[in-house]
Structure 1
Amino acid sequence: MTRHKVLVVPREIAGERLDRFLTKHVPGLTPERARAMLDAGRVRIRGKKAQATRKLWGGEELTLEVPEPRPSPHASVEGPELPVLYDDAALIIVAKPPGLVVEPEGRAASVVGLLAARCPPFDVEGLVQPGVVHRLDRETSGCLALARTDDAVAALLKAFQEKRVDKRYQTLVLGRPPDTGHLEGPYARDPKDPRRFTTRVPSARRAALTFTVRERFREGALLDIDLDTGRTHQIRVQLSEAGFPVLGDSLYGTEEACKHPAALAVGRQALHAWRLEVPSSATGQLVQVESPLPEDFLRGLTVLRGGA
C-alpha cells in the first residue's frame, strides 16, 4: 500500500538536481531512500518517471509514491514501564526510567524499541518507530519527547534550533553552591580522554546553564537547572568543573561524590529531567509536562536530609 505526497518546487531552487532537492526538502528522506524511490519510479513529474539527475527549473509539481513504513527491527515489548506524559498525532512524551538507553544498542531494551512495539503508529524514515530529536543519558531519568512522523521530527528540530523548547532538570550535588548561578563557556571533547567533555579547552561551541538552589543540606544541595544549550553531558561537566559534582557521577564526579551515602542510595548519577515545554506541530500549542522524582532519587534526598 502506498500514499501519495505532492510537492511544488520553489522557484528559488532552480537549477538544483532532483535527488538533492528531495533529500534537502522532504523530511525523513535520506539519500538512500531518495535514490531507491527514484530508481523504482516512485517520483513523477506530470505523471512521468523522473530521473535523479534532472535539473529543476522551479514551479514543477512532484508526486511521490510513499510506501507504508516497515516494521522496526528494534521493536520489543520486553522492558521497563514507560509512563506516557503526553501523546498526540505529532509527538509522544514519556517519563524515561534510569538505566534505559534512548536509542537501540545491541539487544538491550531502548526507548525507541519499546515505543515502537507498545505505542504505534509511527512513520519515521520509512520505519514504524519514533524519531529521536533530543536525548537523555542512560542513567538520567525524566521527560523525553519523541516524534511520530518525519514532519514532526523536522518541526521539533526547528523548535530546538529556535530555542522554543524549555528543559528543566533537578540534580543532587556536593558542595556549597551559591543560591543562583550562571555557567557559560567553551565546550569540546577532552583531548586527554575522548569519552569526556570539558569547558577548559578553546572551542567555538558554547555551553550555558543557570542553576538555583531548591534545598540545602549540610554536605550538598538540590539544584534546579535551566539549560540554555543542550550539549552532551553538559550539566555534569559544568557543575563538576565549577566545584559541585553530581552525586553518583562516575565519569565527572569526585571519589567523594561517588561514595557518599546519598550517592550509594541513588545508585546512579542523581540527575532527573523533571519538566519539559515543547510545541506540538499537531495542535500548534505549547505542551507542558512534569515527571515526578523517581524512587531512587528520593532515597538520596532522604539521606541528605537526615544529615542536614
Structure 2
Amino acid sequence: MSEQIMQITIPEGAMNQRLDAILAQQLPDYSRNRIQAWIKEGLVELDGKVCKKPRYALFGGEQVKLTVLIEESTRIEAQEINLDIVYEDDAIMIINKPVGLVVHPGAGNPDGTLMNGLLYYNPDLREVPRAGIVHRLDKDTSGLMVVAKTIGAQTHLVEQLQRHAVERIYDAVLVGNLAKGGTVDKPIGRSPQDRKKMAVREMGGKPAISHYRVLEHFRAHTRVRVKLETGRTHQIRVHMAHLGYPLVGDPVYGSKFRIPKRMHEQFVEYLRGFHRQALHAGALSLTHPVSGKVMKWRSQMSEDMLELVDILREDIEVFEEEQLGYDEFDYDYGVEVEWVTDEDIPE
C-alpha cells in the first residue's frame, strides 16, 4: 500500500450536493464505492476537519484533502512467465490463462503467478491496484481473463462486473447424464463444515445465478456450457455439484467417480488421471472502458479437455460396436464362414 495525497476544490455550484457524489465526479478514476469507503475511514478532510459522512451536504468552495492508501504491487516480484495475450490496447489486455497458473500470490503460492508475469511484461502495472486484475480464475481452470492497464479502466471494469454487464461463458464436463439445461439460482457462502470450501447457503449466502445448456451427452457424462450472471467463488463447481452433477476431476466438490460399464481400460485410466476440474472460460464479452464498444473474445478448450471429450466420444463408438455382437465378416444369416488362405487359392 502506498500513501497518496489528493487536494480538490469543491466547485461553487455544488451547494447542497453530497460529498461522495461530487468527489466521484472530480475523481473519475475511482468508483463511488471506493470514495465512500475512504470517507467512512476518515481519510477525507473538509477545510482541515475530518468528515466521515458520505451524505454531507456541501456549500461549494470547500478545500478537500484526501490522504488515501492505494494498493500497489511494489512487493511483488516481476517474473518472466509466458503469457498468452489474446488482445491488447492502451486500456486492457485479454489473457488466455493456462491450467495450473495461479492468478495472484497467496499462501502456498508466493510467486510464479499471473500477477508476477504481468509485472514483468508491463512494469507500469505496478501503479494499478492488483496489477490490473479485476476478476480471477481458479488455478486449475483455464480460459479468458481481462486485465486493466489503467486505474480508470479498472474502475470501469469493476463497475461492469458489479452490474453483471460482463458476459462470461464456460465449457464444462460433468459426471452423470444431465437431461436438459436450466438455471441454478442458489446463494453461495462458506461451508459451515469446511471453511476452505464454498457451499449453497440459503441463509447467509450471497446471491449466485448460473445458466447452463447441455451441449453433448456421453454414456455417463455430459458436456455443458454455463453462463454466469454473478461471479461467486467456485460458483459453477458449487452449483453443478448441488444439482448432483459435479465437474469431472474436481478435487474439492467432485465426490463421484462414474465409469460406464465395459469402458476400455485406457479410457478408464485417463478419467482416473484427470485431476483438475474440467472447466474452461471459453467466452468473454464486455464494454470497452474507453471506446464504449462491446467486444467479444472466444478461446478453444485446453488440450486436456479436448482429449477428455474425444475419449468420451470414442467410448460411445467402441461400446456401440461391441454391442452389435458379431464380426463384420460373418454376419450373413448365421452361416459359418470358412477362412481361405493364399495357399488354398489355385495359381
Give TM-score, length-normalised by structure 1. Answer: 0.78
Specify whether residues 194 and 70 from structure 1 end up closer, same or farther in structure 2 by C-alpha distance, changes over 3 A only: closer
Moved more, 252-261 or 106-115: 252-261
Q: State the Cα distance separating 1:157 from its structure 2 match.
A: 1.3
Counterpart selection for 2:50 from 26, 39, 53: 53
Q: 1:118 corresponds to which residue?
A: 121
Q: 1:286 corresponds to which residue?
A: 294
Q: State the Cα distance separating 1:186 from its structure 2 match.
A: 2.6
- d(CA) in 1 for partners of 2:15 and 2:171? 48
Q: State the Cα distance separating 1:224 from its structure 2 match.
A: 0.5
Q: State the Cα distance separating 1:156 from its structure 2 match.
A: 0.8
- d(CA) in 2 for partners of 1:70 and 1:230? 24
Specify whether residues 12 and 260 from structure 1 end up closer, same or farther in structure 2 by C-alpha distance, changes over 3 A only: farther
Counterpart selection for 1:109 from 100, 108, 112: 112
More strand by share: 1
Q: 1:297 corresponds to which residue?
A: 305
- Identity, % of aligned pairs? 27
Q: What letter is aligned with 2:117?
A: L
Q: What stretches of structure 2 of length at least 5 have no aligned partner?
A: 260-266, 317-347
Q: 1:169 corresponds to which residue?
A: 170
Q: 1:74 corresponds to which residue?
A: 76
Q: 2:333 corresponds to which residue?
A: none
Contact 1:123/1:149, CA 8 A, preserved across alignment: no
- d(CA) in 2 for partners of 1:204 and 1:194? 13
CA-to-partner distance for each residue in 1:148-203, whole Å, 9 max, x for gaps? 12211211111112221100000111111123121112322111111112225423
Specify whether residues 229 and 19 from structure 1 end up closer, same or farther in structure 2 by C-alpha distance, changes over 3 A only: closer
Q: 1:151 corresponds to which residue?
A: 152
Q: Does 1:225 align with 2:222?
A: no
CA-to-partner distance for each residue in 1:67-122, whole Å, 9 max, x for gaps? xx98733242333x221112122221100111111112253211112111113533
Moved more, 181-190 or 114-123: 114-123
Q: 1:269 corresponds to which residue?
A: 277
Q: What stretches of structure 1 of length at least 5 have no aligned partner?
A: none
Q: What is the RMSD of the two structures over their aligned residues, measured on CA atoms? A: 4.0
Specify whether residues 23 and 307 from structure 1 end up closer, same or farther in structure 2 by C-alpha distance, changes over 3 A only: same
Q: What letter is aligned with 2:304?
A: D
Contact 1:262/1:304, CA 8 A, preserved across alignment: no
- d(CA) in 2 for partners of 1:108 and 1:97? 16
Q: 2:100 corresponds to which residue?
A: 99
Contact 1:266/1:299, CA 8 A, preserved across alignment: no
Moved more, 91-100 or 50-59: 50-59
- d(CA) in 2 for partners of 1:75 and 1:283? 32
Which fold has the larger relative contact order, with Cα–Cα distance below 8 Å and residues 6 or more apart in sequence? 1
Q: State the Cα distance separating 1:264 from its structure 2 match.
A: 3.9
Specify whether residues 257 and 102 from structure 1 end up closer, same or farther in structure 2 by C-alpha distance, changes over 3 A only: farther
Instruction: Classify the secondary structure of the residue corresponding to 1:195.
Output: coil
Contact 1:208/1:229, CA 8 A, preserved across alignment: yes
Moved more, 180-189 or 162-171: 180-189
- d(CA) in 2 for partners of 1:65 and 1:156? 24
Moved more, 20-29 or 240-249: 20-29
Q: Which is greater in Rg?
A: 2
Q: 2:262 corresponds to which residue?
A: none
- d(CA) in 1 for partners of 2:210 and 2:116? 31
CA-to-partner distance for each residue in 1:18-67, whole Å, 9 max, x for gaps? 99999998458895xx999x9xxxx9x9xxxx74637964355769999x
